[in-house]
Each structure stands twice: as structure tokens, then as C-alpha cells.
């Protein structure tokens, strides 16, 4: 991508999801991305030939604007919509400016669904994690792919919040109608400061990929 995401250098398991997607979903398939941010993972999907439904409700993530970066630096950044237009990919992406947990346009099945570290944000803590996961699962037809990377607890208070979960706990939310394909987890690691977290900080992350059983 010629335009760079504000999240470009943060750790992601997206390559594992993309590999599974290429195995299971034909080109021109549809992928829903929950918590699209400024398009860090949306644009590569669209560039690879997929059609994308991008859920994002943060105005700055959608439209860009002035942001503060580490080192007390202010820059003007493109948001998701601007980056899509700049890359000529806006015709492949449907942007839904709604809270995913309240969106009423969940009647279109997708070939795959993906979220990257979205449900641990405090704005999503007013609803159970089970509801978030179940709504994602509803988007996936038989034979389709579910992918999520997520924050695992590090600090003591994280253990009191179910949205900081683990691959083992998350796997329990997938019944016999699903096959868990892959789970991964990191140990604690230090991530460099980035927009929204202006100091170096410690994370643990997990990944779960699952396929809905074909009919």
C-alpha cells in the first residue's frame, strides 16, 4: 500500500488468517472486517481481490484528521475512506458506519469474518463477549471462515474483564457446528509506542481460526 496505516508496525496474526482465506475462499469472495480502523487489514484484502464489508464507527478512523504520535508529534492522517480512495479500492469495500453490536444489516452472509483486537476496547465492554462472538458467527455460512486476534490479560485488572480472553476459553464458544483450525498465543512482549498508546507497553495476544462445518 502506498498510504501507510497508523497501525502499520503493530503485531498481527493476519498472515495466518490470509493463508487460510486463500485456501478456503475463492477470489471475489466477501470478507467482513469488524473494527476496520483506518484500513490496515481492509486494504490488503481488497487489493487481493476480495470484496470487503468494513464495520467501523470511530469518526477519526473513518475520515482521518490530526493525530498525535509518539514523540509529541502531530500529523494529519488519512482515514479508512481516504485511504481506499487513494488506493483506488473504494469500489471493493462497503463501509458500515455503525456499532457492530447494534448493526441491523447482518442479513448478508460473508465467506469469512475477521476482527483484530477490537472487543477488548472498553467501548465494547457493555455487552458480553459471547454476544460479540455470536454475532460474528452469524455472518459465516457453512464452509465459511471465522478469524479473530485478541488481547490476552497482562495486568491484574485484565483478569476481571472477560473480553481479555485466551484461545482455550474462546474455543468453548464454538460448538460441533464448527471446526477450530488453529489457535496461537504469544508470551508477553513489548510493543513500541503508537497512536493511542504513546509509551511502549506490554501485550499478550491470541489467535483463533475456525471453519463452519459444511452442510
Right CATH number for 14-212 from 3.40.1740.10, 3.40.50.150, 3.40.50.970, 3.30.750.210? 3.40.50.150
Confidence of residue 117 (pLDDT cuts 50, 70, 90): very high
Residue 198 in this model has a pLDDT that exceeds 90: no
Residue 184 in this model has a pLDDT that exceeds 80: yes
Residue 60 in this model has a pLDDT that exceeds 70: yes
> How is the chain classified by DSSP, letter by letter?
--SPPTTTTS---HHHHHHHHHHHS-TT-EEEEES-TTSTTHHHHHHTT-EEEEE---HHHHH-EEEEETTTEEEEE--HHHHHHHHT-GGGEEEE-S-TTT-S---S--SEEEEES-TTSGGGTTS-HHHHHHHHHHTPPTT-EEEEEEE---SGGGGG-TTS--HHHHHTT--TTEEEEEEEE---EEEPPBTTB-S-EEE-EEEEEEEEPP-
- Domains in the chain: boundaries: 14-212
pLDDT tens readout for residues 77-96: 899 999 999 999 999 999 99
Amino acid at each position: 500500500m502506498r498510504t501507510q496505516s497508523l497501525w502499520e508496525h503493530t503485531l498481527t496474526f493476519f498472515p495466518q488468517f490470509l493463508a487460510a482465506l486463500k485456501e478456503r475462499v475463492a477470489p471475489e469472495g466477501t470478507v467482513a472486517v469488524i473494527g476496520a480502523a483506518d484500513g490496515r487489514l481492509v486494504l490488503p484484502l481488497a487489493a487481493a481481490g476480495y470484496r470487503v464489508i468494513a464495520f467501523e464507527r470511530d469518526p477519526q478512523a473513518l475520515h482521518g484528521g490530526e493525530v498525535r504520535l509518539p514523540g509529541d508529534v502531530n500529523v494529519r492522517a488519512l482515514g479508512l475512506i481516504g485511504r481506499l480512495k487513494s488506493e483506488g479500492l473504494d469500489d471493493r469495500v462497503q463501509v458500515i458506519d455503525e456499532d457492530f453490536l447494534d448493526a441491523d444489516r447482518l442479513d448478508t452472509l460473508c465467506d469469512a469474518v475477521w476482527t483484530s483486537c477490537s472487543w477488548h476496547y472498553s467501548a465494547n465492554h457493555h455487552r458480553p463477549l459471547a454476544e460479540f462472538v455470536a454475532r460474528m458467527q452469524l455472518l459465516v455460512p457453512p464452509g465459511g471462515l471465522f478469524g479473530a486476534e485478541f488481547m490476552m490479560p497482562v495486568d491484574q485488572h485484565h483478569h476481571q474483564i472477560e473480553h481479555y480472553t485466551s484461545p482455550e476459553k474462546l474455543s468453548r464458544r464454538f460448538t460441533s457446528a464448527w471446526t477450530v483450525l488453529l489457535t496461537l498465543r504469544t508470551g508477553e512482549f513489548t510493543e513500541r509506542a503508537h497512536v493511542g498508546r504513546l509509551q511502549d507497553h506490554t501485550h499478550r495476544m491470541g489467535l483463533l481460526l475456525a471453519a463452519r462445518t459444511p452442510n
